[in-house]
Structure 1
Amino acid sequence: MITIAHYISSSSRPVVVDANSVVTLPAFLADERERGTSTSASNSGTTTVSILSRQLSEAATRAETRAGGKSADLLDPITGDNYFASKSQHDIEIPTTQNPELLVRARQATGFVNGSDSNPFKNLSRDQLHLIAHDEGGSFTINERRAAWETMQPAELLDDSSPKPLSINGRDIMISRLFGNSEPPVALAPATFHNITQNRNEFLSSDDRALIADMYAYAQAEGADLHYVDQLVMSLSTFRYYSDGRQLSGNNGYNAEGYRVTYDVKPADTVIAAGILNGSALASTRIDQDFLRYILSSDHRAFSNVGGIPFLERMVKKFSDEGANQPPLGSEFATYKKVRYEDHIVQTTYKHIRLPPSKVLAGKVDGVWTLTELGKSEGYTLDKLTGRLSKPTAPTEAPSLLTPAPSTSKRTFLDALRETPDQPATRWIWPGHLFKLMKNYKP
Structure 2
Amino acid sequence: MPRQNSLKIGVSGVRGIIGDSLTPQLVASFSAAFGNYCGAGPILIGSDTRPSAEMIKQAAIAGLLSVGCTPIDVGVVPIPALMLHVREAGAFGGIGITASHNPIEWNALKFIGADGITLRPNQAAELTDLYHQGVYSRVSAQEMTDPRTDGSTLERHRKAVISIVDEARIRDCRFKVVVDCCNGAASIATPAFLRALGCEVLEMNTDQSKPFARDPEPLPENIGALCDLVKKSGADIGFAQDADADRLAIVNENGEPLGEDATVALAVYHWLRHESGPVVVNSATTRMVDDIAQQYGCPVYRTAVGEVHVVERMLECRAVIGGEGNGGVILPVVNPCRDSFVAMALVLEALAQDRVPISELRSRLSRYVMMRDRLLCEPRDIAPLLRLIRNAYQREELDLTDGVKVLWANKWLQVRPSNTEPILRLTAEAPSEAEARSLLSDALEILSPS
For the aligned pair, the TM-score class normalised by the smaller chain equals under 0.3
Taking structure 2 as the reference length, what is the TM-score of the superposition? Answer: 0.22
Task: Give the structure with the larger helix fraction.
Answer: 1
Task: Give the structure with the larger strand fraction.
Answer: 2
Taking structure 1 as the reference length, what is the TM-score of the superposition? Answer: 0.22
Which one has the largest radius of gyration?
1
